[in-house]
A and B are shown apart, each in its own frame.
Chain A
Amino acid sequence: MKKESIFQIILLFLLSTTTPLLADNSPMRGNAKFNVVAAVLVIIFAGVTGYLVYLDRKVSRMDRDKDKDKDKENLS
């Protein structure tokens, strides 16, 4: 499965489940503080996920470099 199609499925699923909920007018949603709480949670979640992805890629790169160094040592 292509990378784009996975993200499209995820986006479609999120939109289909959340769109009916966005129309709701509950007391919690009517409170102005709700937007602040939602924004903070989204920032924290995006920050943690982004940092994990960054770290994952960095460690993978370091792993690859280490393997290359090992191969060079073995060849020499």
Chain B
Amino acid sequence: MAKHLWKILATFLLAYVLVGGLFVPLKTGVTGVDKINIISDTTTTLNIDIYNPGKAFKPEKALLGDKFGFVATRLDYNYGVLQANFMPRLGKEGHEGMSNLYVLANGRWMAFPSAVSITRATSDTGKSNAQLIASEDLNDHVVAFPNRPILNESIRNLFYHVPMWFSMIFLLLVSAVYSVKYLVKSNLHFDLRSDALIRIAILAGFLGCATGSVWASVTWDSWWPNDPKLNGVAIGMLMYSAYLLLRSGIRDDYQKARISAVYNLFVFPIFIALIVIMPKLSGDSLHPGAGGTVGFNQYDLDNTMRMFFYPAVIGWILLFLWVASLLYRINKLKNPIS
């Protein structure tokens, strides 16, 4: 029983992530505005879509801007839609352009970046009515996932897509360790272990690609966007596919093991460079923590997400290790090593 505890832990953690990932609601958030352009110095009514407001939703303030903003003069709320009247006056010194929208409700701020563009009216030549917005740090203690623009409900995919890649990297690292062990001790058991880990890492990689592709189609409207991380992953997966071809072409077990180990040790650092270092060096990337974007630990990941994200990473790694151990044991039974 004790030797199977880690397998029970994997199943338990993934069941917990599956239930939590499905049933924890999204926080109340702004998902859309009916106008993309408003003229200054005239009263405009914006219909703001509120997602998951709940019965106790009580809007307190709405404003357009950032550090300096225009506060809504009137708020009307009908379930799911907040009507806010704005009369922005840019004045001589105010800048035209895109403005963020912020809504304060039930003591919590919600943001919708680049919501509307404000264009200066010809009559707008007086003084601006923009106010300095005090940063109010209102912490809420709701068990709910963050409601990020574009991501919306798809944020739950974080518990599947990211752990797949973490699992792949972990499995490849362990396989590289076994490759080193084989080269030192020439024990074919190490080669079988390394081979099983690589095959399951490739499976994790394909699952990571599939979950990422579905996520990209929902958020970025493309199944395979032109992103340095994605292109790096594609090259890396091809290199590991070449490993399978290389291995299948050699008959002598010891020669096969030696060449596989050397190839694995050669490919692993290149793969890491392609998926971790190259996207950081490139100018731009859609993925968090690469190019000009911030890492999700600084921006997107809140404590409710962490409650499920870390168990998901551990759970998926353990599950893939379980599958790899099964593959190793089956291969060992098929090819008995004296």
Contact = CB atoms under 8 A, between A and B. Distances in A.
A74 to B, nearest CB: 14
Question: What secondary structure prevails in chain A residues at the interface with B?
Answer: helix
A28 B143 contact: no
B22 A38 contact: yes
Interface residues of B, number: 28
A14 B16 contact: yes
Given A10-B12, A17-B20, A41-B18, A26 B25 contact: yes
**Interface size of A as a range:** 20 to 34
A14 B19 contact: yes
Interface string B294-316: 00000000000000000000000
Interface in B313-338: 319, 322-323, 326, 329-330, 333
Interface string B1-36: 100000110011011101110111110000000000
A62 to B, nearest CB: 6
Interface in A1-59: 3, 6, 10, 13-14, 17-18, 20-22, 24-29, 37-38, 41-42, 45, 49, 52, 55-56, 59
Nearest to A6: B8
Contacts of B170: none
A56 to B, nearest CB: 6
Contacts of B329: 59, 63
A71 to B, nearest CB: 15
A66 interface: yes
A20 B143 contact: yes
A7 to B, nearest CB: 9
Nearest to B14: A45
B330 A28 contact: no
B15 A27 contact: no
B7 to A, nearest CB: 7
Contacts of A13: 16
A49 B323 CA distance: 10
A28 B27 CA distance: 12
A35 B329 CA distance: 38
Contact of A26 (B14, B52, B143): B52
Contact of B7 (A6, A20, A28, A56): A56
A28 B21 CA distance: 12
A45 B18 contact: yes
B124 interface: no
B224 interface: no
B51 interface: yes
B303 to A, nearest CB: 14
Contact of B26 (A6, A26, A59): A26
Contacts of B14: 45, 49
A10 B326 CA distance: 25
Contacts of A42: 18
Given A14-B16, A18-B19, A21-B23, A66 B7 contact: no
Given A29-B23, A52-B7, 17 more contacts: A10-B8, A13-B16, A14-B16, A17-B19, A24-B23, A26-B26, A27-B51, A41-B18, A41-B22, A42-B18, A45-B14, A49-B14, A56-B326, A59-B326, A59-B329, A59-B330, A62-B333
Interface of B: 1, 7-8, 11-12, 14-16, 18-20, 22-26, 51-52, 54, 143, 153, 319, 322-323, 326, 329-330, 333
16 contacts: A14-B15, A14-B16, A18-B19, A18-B23, A21-B20, A26-B52, A27-B51, A27-B52, A29-B23, A29-B25, A41-B18, A42-B18, A55-B326, A59-B326, A59-B329, A66-B333
What are the nearest 9 A-B pairs in CB distance?
A: A26-B25, A21-B23, A24-B25, A59-B329, A26-B52, A18-B19, A10-B12, A49-B11, A28-B153
